């Protein structure tokens, strides 16, 4: 029986960066024996971390893996997440510590009202009050609560209030359409929705409550809606169903006793994107998830007492759940929470914020980094970022050129970079450098964290010692998803069927180099088969953006009579680069030199930007549909929908030539 060809991964290590001596000397993890200790007894390793939380009842068994892939962590233990994120810090005398420096998008216009120091005392008070509001509306343990909100402190309060009473939150990114919200609320059977009157987008209020009003008639389980008055737009309110946040919270009892939750009780649902299929409702549970997000937040970011940590994601994504809300708050950290776009009202807004609050750690996505590269380093250099000591990358593989720019321009050449790999399903960071210990390579996530076991398998299911293949996780981990909401069979089929019930199929292609470092090269679906050679889109994109004339690039595969598939590149030029025939020829030859002739794109299209979600993720599915002249559907939720029209016109014109 013929097997599919192995993935051709041709990335080469060009530079290495050991931890800066001053950083390593102060790092919490600087002894390589930590990996050996965790590998020798992973259950003891995770039990040590769980022991740093506050438990209502102790666990009797660390891990029950008797019926894989059904894992149970900290069996018999009971705890409450809001207590671990709030009460215990207040009880320790840290109630007046800032949990979030909140910066409104319009802070320049509203002054102090747009810049708030949200303390642990305030969070605890608001969490208990809103928990009582929900109880008064009939929400109890096990009920699902929808959260569809801007990046405001009340979003975190709503999540924590759910954990207070044992409700299961289902957060939907505030940039999603009414239909996306309706689908997620319907399939989860949400009883309550927490939303806002509007959200600010580049200075203008964009309706939220009014824009979703039509969906409520299709949600028979939803009995109540709580609305935060963010923009003063006076939305329509249905008596008996709709309630304003401020009035409800002010009238609520300030004390709400925490619900003891079993370690395996559901904590939240989070639906993955529906770009390729019906969205999957990932279920994360309480004890194991909180243990691992708190542990990885400390390990990966080398967290110190006085750090000002900024995870520049949105609460609507898993990065926001794990590394804006639960990990940092469990660790009693001080974070920055910013409401708006990175380039509003000016393209240096982030660096103004980082300078104002003295950010010491920045965690963001490669897409955003590439945007800053395109805008120019002078916007960065006019701000004092000297307090930054650590940088992080999340969301997709970071190409080496962006890694080096991030290191030199943002980090001043002194800050280690933690390039983290994980996903919604894993719940927490899985592969990443330890910044005081790991020598990094631009573009590589390096090695699995202590207590994590990952492998790369070939098409026969055999482990690869060096080379490309399919990434898998071969041991259970505490924050792992337990199932898909109401779809247990789909959970098994999607993640555990291919290699057996003890091996988790990640869905990413990867490469293991000569130093056993992992290079994540994109989703298995993001592989282009050119004349029998399976090439990763990430590798070709990295080669393109390595050219100084390219700010950003995305590539896709399209059917081709001669080669099976042909590579199509969508490129945003950098600076004065002119996207003509000469430039295109130079880029094709550049890719040939970096990878090989087989990797040269057959067609190029140019635009000032690429189709992206409001969180900055490039929509490659949409690029495929553009290339195939398919109906694109609703593109209003994109960051800049006009980009689609420009690219569609170019593609259609090329087909007439």
Taking the C-alpha atoms of residue 611 and residue 644, their distance in angstroms, rounded to an integer, is 6
Determine the Cα–Cα distance for residues 26 and 528; give it in Å rounded to an integer: 44
Residue range 472-511, pLDDT digits in tens: 999 999 999 999 999 999 999 999 999 999 999 998 889 9
Residue 26 resides in a domain? no
Residue 69, Ramachandran bin (φ over 0: left; ψ between -120 and 50: alpha; else beta): alpha
Residues 6+ apart with CB under 8 A from 635: 611, 622, 641, 644
DSSP class of residue 434 equals -
Count of the separate structural domains present in the chain:
1
Instruction: Please report whether residue 531 resides in a domain.
Output: yes
Mean pLDDT over each residue of the chain, to the nearest integer: 91
Sheet containing strand 454-457, edge to edge, reads 454-457, 467-473, 504-512, 518-523
Whether the Cβ atoms of residue 424 and residue 495 lie closer than 8 Å to each other:
no
Any idea what the CATH number is for the domain that residue 548 is in?
3.30.300.30
Read off the pLDDT of residues 12-43 as tens digits, 9 standing for 90 and up.
556 899 999 999 999 999 999 999 999 999 99
Q: What is the 3-state secondary structure (H, E, C) of 346-371?
A: CCCHHHHHHHHHCCCEEEECHHHHHH
The C-alpha atoms of residue 573 and residue 588 are separated, in whole angstroms, by 14
* Residue 352 pLDDT exceeds 60: yes
Q: Which residues pair with 391 in a beta bridge?
A: 362, 417
Residue carrying structure tokens 């399976």: 534
Distance CA 180, CA 242 (A): 21
In a domain, 628, yes or no: yes
| Assigned domain for 610 exists | yes
Closest by CA to 99, choosing from 335, 304, 317, 275, is 335
Give the per-residue pLDDT at 532: 61
Contact 78, 263 (CB under 8 A): yes
Residue 476 pLDDT: 98
Percentage of the chain surpassing pLDDT 90? 72
Q: What is the DSSP string of 197-245?
A: SEEEETTEEEESHHHHGGGGGG-TT--EEEEE-SS-------TTTEEEH
Residue 1, pLDDT score: 28
What digits encode the pLDDT tens for the residues 564-592?
A: 788 999 999 987 777 888 999 999 998 88
Is residue 277 over pLDDT 60? no
- Flag whether 389 is in a domain: no
Q: Does residue 168 lie in a domain region?
A: no
> Is residue 182 one of the residues assigned to a domain?
no
* Residue span of the structural domain in which 598 resides: 526-655
The string of DSSP codes covering 520-580 is EEEETTSEEEETTEEEEHHHHHHHHHTSTTEEEEEEEEEEETTTEEEEEEEEEE-TT---S
The whole model's pTM is what? Answer: 0.87
The pLDDT, as a whole number, for residue 2 is: 32
369 φψ region: left (φ > 0), alpha (ψ -120 to 50), beta (else): alpha
Enumerate the H helices of 71-152 as residue ranges: 81-82, 88-89, 107-110, 120-136
């Amino acid at each position: 029986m013929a097997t599919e060809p192995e993935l051709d991964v041709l990335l080469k290590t060009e530079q290495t960066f050991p931890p800066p001596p001053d950083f390593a000397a102060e790092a919490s993890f600087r002894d390589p024996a930590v990996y050996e200790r965790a590998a020798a007894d992973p259950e003891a390793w995770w039990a040590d971390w769980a022991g740093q939380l506050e438990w209502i009842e102790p666990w009797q068994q660390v891990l029950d893996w008797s019926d894989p892939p059904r894992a149970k962590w900290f069996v018999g233990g009971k705890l409450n997440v809001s207590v671990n994120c709030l009460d215990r810090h207040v009880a320790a005398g840290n109630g007046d510590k800032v949990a979030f420096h909140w910066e409104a998008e319009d802070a320049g216009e509203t002054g102090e009202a747009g810049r708030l120091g949200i303390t642990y005392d305030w969070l605890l008070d608001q969490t208990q009050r809103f928990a009582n509001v929900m109880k008064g509306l009939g929400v109890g343990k096990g009920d699902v609560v929808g959260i569809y909100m801007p990046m405001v402190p009340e979003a975190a309060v709503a999540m924590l209030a759910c954990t207070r009473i044992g409700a299961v939150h289902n957060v939907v990114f505030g940039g999603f359409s009414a239909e996306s919200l309706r689908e997620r609320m319907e399939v989860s059977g949400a009883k309550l929705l927490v939303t806002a009157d509007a959200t600010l987008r580049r200075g203008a209020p964009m309706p939220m409550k009014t824009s979703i009003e039509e969906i409520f008639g299709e949600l028979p389980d939803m009995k109540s809606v709580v609305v935060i008055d963010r923009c003063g737009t006076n939305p329509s309110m249905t008596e008996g169903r709709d309630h304003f946040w401020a009035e409800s919270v002010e009238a609520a009892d300030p004390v709400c006793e925490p619900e003891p939750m079993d370690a395996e009780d559901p904590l939240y649902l989070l639906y993955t994107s529906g770009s390729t299929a019906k969205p999957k409702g990932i279920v994360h549970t309480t004890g194991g998830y909180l243990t691992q997000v708190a542990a990885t937040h400390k390990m990966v970011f080398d967290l110190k007492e006085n750090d000002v940590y900024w995870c520049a994601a949105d609460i609507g994504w898993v990065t926001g759940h794990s590394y804006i809300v639960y990990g940092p708050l469990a660790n009693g950290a001080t974070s920055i929470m910013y409401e708006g776009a990175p380039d509003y009202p000016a393209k240096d807004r982030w660096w103004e914020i980082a300078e104002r609050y003295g950010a010491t750690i920045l965690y963001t996505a490669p897409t955003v980094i590439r945007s800053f590269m395109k805008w120019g380093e002078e916007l960065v250099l006019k701000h004092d970022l000297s307090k930054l000591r650590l940088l992080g990358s999340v969301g997709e593989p970071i190409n080496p050129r962006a890694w080096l720019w991030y290191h030199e321009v943002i980090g001043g050449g002194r800050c280690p970079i933690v390039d983290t790999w994980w996903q919604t399903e894993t719940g927490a960071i899985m592969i990443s450098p330890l910044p005081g210990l790991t020598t990094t390579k631009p573009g590589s996530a390096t090695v699995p964290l202590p207590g994590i076991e990952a492998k790369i398998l070939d098409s026969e299911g055999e482990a690869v010692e060096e080379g490309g293949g399919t990434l898998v996780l071969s041991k259970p981990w505490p924050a792992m998803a337990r199932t898909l909401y109401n779809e247990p069979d789909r959970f098994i089929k999607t993640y555990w069927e291919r290699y057996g019930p003890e091996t988790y199929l990640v869905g990413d292609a990867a490469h293991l180099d000569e130093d056993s470092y992992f290079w994540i090269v994109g989703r298995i679906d993001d592989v282009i088969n050119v004349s029998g050679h399976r090439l990763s889109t990430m590798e070709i994109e990295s080669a393109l953006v390595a050219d100084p004339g390219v700010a950003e690039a995305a590539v896709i595969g399209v059917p081709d009579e001669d080669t099976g598939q042909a590579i199509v590149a969508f490129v945003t030029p950098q600076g004065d680069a002119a996207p003509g025939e000469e430039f295109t020829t130079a880029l094709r030859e550049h890719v040939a030199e970096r990878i090989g002739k087989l990797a040269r794109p057959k067609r190029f299209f140019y635009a000032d930007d690429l189709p992206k979600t409001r969180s900055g993720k490039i929509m490659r599915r949409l690029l495929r549909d553009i290339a195939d002249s398919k109906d694109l559907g609703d593109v209003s939720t994109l960051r800049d929908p006009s980009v689609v029209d420009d690219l569609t016109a170019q593609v259609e014109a090329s087909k007439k030539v």
